[in-house]
């Protein structure tokens, strides 16, 4: 293999973008493909803990993201009807303990900022991977638009419906968990008027609603639910209504009702998962993020795990090199599997921070402390 390997990454989600930026900085020749025709600003929020921010610091993104985001002091868990505090978990209130901020931000703004860390001439939108062939020397890629490419290493960052995973390990559909998520963004003024927490999760027995601001100025406020429901459509996202949200959260605290009353554009998403995958690579092809460990989103750590994978994979390729890829990828898997599987199982169980607990093992982690 040549001194500087040419690495193809399929999927420009958080994991793929992080991998592209980190590998470029490590000196690799990287090319990032995505099926979408262009970058689009998905209407949703995201939380990134200190464990991810310490990685984004290496891309000079920590300070600009911090300047744009809301910095919640606590994660508040509240009882659905009377608002009783079930847990108040310090986030930025204990920032010095974590050595990095905990941010909440618009997903589109985050993705756009992360993309700026990747050389623009190495990003190819409108490239849907149809198939690939690993002949032991290189990996040939074929895209739906008829174009082809050839890389030394292929990274699958193509999400829960990964085509690459399917080709490597056989077809196995992700499983609908019986839960869906409603999402909506409302004006921040509505939340400020009722004295909203910066970041709160309201829990009842079989459902919850998570509510947080998306920016430093508190101009936008985000609602995302987890609730049982039927899902019959084959697609990934559908439009929904304020009435459907009202129905699902009937009897919830007046503060939650005020948020729901202010919703306009409401969407719903199926929450799907898969069993942990025992192997994350074959030949010259390696998986990261949701392609190998998708989860229900209830720990707000799915994208975080994808970015951590990207950082550890970059370190393994840098430190261990590319001459014995099987050894390099086995080490990457060994370093990641326990943490990713633990987060996947707690997230799926939806127990995270419902009652007082110390989240340091998750947020306090720094993948750069790890011995490769």
Contact between 35 and ligand FAD by CB under 6 A: the answer reads yes
Contact between 8 and ligand FAD by CB under 6 A: the answer reads no
Contact between 128 and ligand FAD by CB under 6 A: the answer reads yes
Question: Residue 15 or residue 101: which is nearer to ligand FAD going by CB?
Answer: 15
Contact between 50 and ligand FAD by CB under 6 A: the answer reads no
Q: Residue 49 in contact with residue 304, Cβ under 8 Å? A: yes
Per-residue x/- marks for ligand FAD, 274-293, CB under 6 A? ---------------xxx--
Contact between 301 and ligand FAD by CB under 6 A: the answer reads yes
Question: Residue 167 or residue 256: which is nearer to ligand FAD going by CB?
Answer: 167
Contact between 132 and ligand FAD by CB under 6 A: the answer reads no
Contact between 14 and ligand FAD by CB under 6 A: the answer reads yes
Provide DSSP, 10-68: E--SHHHHHHHHHHHHTT-EEEEE-SSSS----S-EEEE-HHHHHHHGGGT-HHHHHHH
Contact between 12 and ligand FAD by CB under 6 A: the answer reads yes
Out of 181, 198, 223, 262, the only residue in the binding site for ligand FAD (CB under 6 A) is 181
Shortest distance, position 274 Cβ to ligand FAD, whole Å: 12
Contact between 10 and ligand FAD by CB under 6 A: the answer reads yes
48: Cα within 13 Å, side-chain hemisphere: 31
- Give the helix ranges, DSSP H, for 215-324: 242-248, 254-261, 302-320
Question: Residue 177 or residue 321: which is nearer to ligand FAD going by CB?
Answer: 177
Q: Is 133 exposed, middle or buried (0-12, 13-18, 19+ CB in 10 A)?
A: exposed
Query: What is the phi/psi pair of residue 308, to 5°?
Result: -60, -45
**Residues 6+ positions from 11 with CB-CB distance below 8 Å:** 33, 34, 156, 157, 158, 159, 162, 289, 291
How far is Cα 334 from Cα 332, in angstroms, rounded to an integer? 5
Contact between 33 and ligand FAD by CB under 6 A: the answer reads yes
Contact between 269 and ligand FAD by CB under 6 A: the answer reads yes
Out of 9, 46, 76, 155, the only residue in the binding site for ligand FAD (CB under 6 A) is 46
Sign of CA dihedral 144, 28, 343, 266: negative
Q: State the residues that interact with ligand FAD by CB under 6 A.
A: 10-16, 33-36, 46-47, 127-129, 157-159, 163, 181, 224, 269, 289-291, 297, 300-304, 306
């Amino acid at each position: 293999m040549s001194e500087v390997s040419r690495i193809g990454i399929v999927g420009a989600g958080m994991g793929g973008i992080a991998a592209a930026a980190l590998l470029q900085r490590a000196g690799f020749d990287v090319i990032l493909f995505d099926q979408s025709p262009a970058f689009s600003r998905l209407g949703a929020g995201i939380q990134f803990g200190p464990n991810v921010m310490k990685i984004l610091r290496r891309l000079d993104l920590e300070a600009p993201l911090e300047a744009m985001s809301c910095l919640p002091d606590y994660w508040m868990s509240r009882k659905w009807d009377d608002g009783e505090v079930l847990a108040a978990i310090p986030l930025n209130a204990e920032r010095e303990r974590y050595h990095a901020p905990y941010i909440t931000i618009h997903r589109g703004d985050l993705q756009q900022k992360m993309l700026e860390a990747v050389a623009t001439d190495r990003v190819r939108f409108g490239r849907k991977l149809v198939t690939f062939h690993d002949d032991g020397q290189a990996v040939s890629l074929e895209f739906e638009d008829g174009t082809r490419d050839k890389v030394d290493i292929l990274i699958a960052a193509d999400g829960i419906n990964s085509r690459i995973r399917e080709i490597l390990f056989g077809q196995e559909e992700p499983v609908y968990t019986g839960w869906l998520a409603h999402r909506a963004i409302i004006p921040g003024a509505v939340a400020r008027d009722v004295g909203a927490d910066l970041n709160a999760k309201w829990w009842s027995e079989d459902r919850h609603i998570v509510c947080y601001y998306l920016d430093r100025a508190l101009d936008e406020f985000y609602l995302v639910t987890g609730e049982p429901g039927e899902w019959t459509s084959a697609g990934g996202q559908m439009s929904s209504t304020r009435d459907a949200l009202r129905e699902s959260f009937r009897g919830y605290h007046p503060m939650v009702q005020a948020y729901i009353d202010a919703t306009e554009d409401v969407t719903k998403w199926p929450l799907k998962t898969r069993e942990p995958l025992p192997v994350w690579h074959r030949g010259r092809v390696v998986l990261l993020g949701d392609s190998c460990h998708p989860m229900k989103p209830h720990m707000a750590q799915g994208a975080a795990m994808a970015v951590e994978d990207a950082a550890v994979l970059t370190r393994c390729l840098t430190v261990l090199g590319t001459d014995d890829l099987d050894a390099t990828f086995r080490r990457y898997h060994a370093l990641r599997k326990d943490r990713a599987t633990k987060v996947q199982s707690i997230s799926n169980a939806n127990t995270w921070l419902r009652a007082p607990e110390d989240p340091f093992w998750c947020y306090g982690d720094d993948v750069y402390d790890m011995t490769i």
